[in-house]
Structure 1
């Protein structure tokens, strides 16, 4: 089975996993922490708080699939960010492999940013 960590989905259903619950919680927390260490070079907010991460799946074999977007299809960091995400998540102990997919469906907008990101960017 696959466990999903979706940004901004507080009512996501519980999904069974072959990974023990405590270990899954640790992996989830550390993956989110890793994602928060990645910044778009042109924006002083991490990609998680910016709302660029749409979905994270953790498979029983500890392979992680990250679905993310960019602020625009013409983002100057488009070539860099997926590799930065892959490296950050792969550094989490216990992760076997990481795959990063870029999507523009739905397109990113400022409504996806956290309150912390809005405050940092003075967007109220």
Structure 2
């Protein structure tokens, strides 16, 4: 059975290209995860609206999802929500120079 925690654990293997010391889950880039039977849909928040790596990120996230045993269909969409450093822990904000 595919769970949200299994999906999050797999997505923690992906690092944000502009801040490769923090995974995309800790970066607050996962907006939503929907699971229905063996299909998973992830909504991804980009750190910048015109992120040059947007298509690469979608491909990487989709590929990681497809590594999960039992996944039949993986879909990744870009959220229209804006990312901000507030999504980071205080420790991570310091590591990235936001504090």
Deviating 4+ runs (over 4 angstroms):
none
Number of residue-to-residue matches in the alignment: 98
> Deviation per CA, 1:58-99, whole angstroms, max 9, x where unpaired?
10x210010111011121211200111111111111211111
Aligned to 2:6: 30
2:27 and 2:91 mapped to 1: Cα distance?
Answer: 9
Aligned counterpart, 1:118: 93
Give the distance between the partners of 1:32 and 1:115, measured in 2 at CA. 21
TM-score with structure 1 setting the length: 0.70
1:79 is paired with a residue whose SS is: helix
Change (3 A) 1:65 1:36: same
Gaps of 5+ in 2: none
Superposed CA RMSD? 1.7
* CA displacement 1:26-63 (0-9 Å, x = unmatched): x322211111111122212111110110000110x210
Q: By percentage of residues, which structure has more strand?
A: 2
Using structure 2 for the length normalisation, give the TM-score.
0.85
CA–CA separation in structure 1 for the residues paired with 2:82 and 2:33: 17
Residue segments in structure 1 that go unaligned for 5+ positions in a row: 1-22
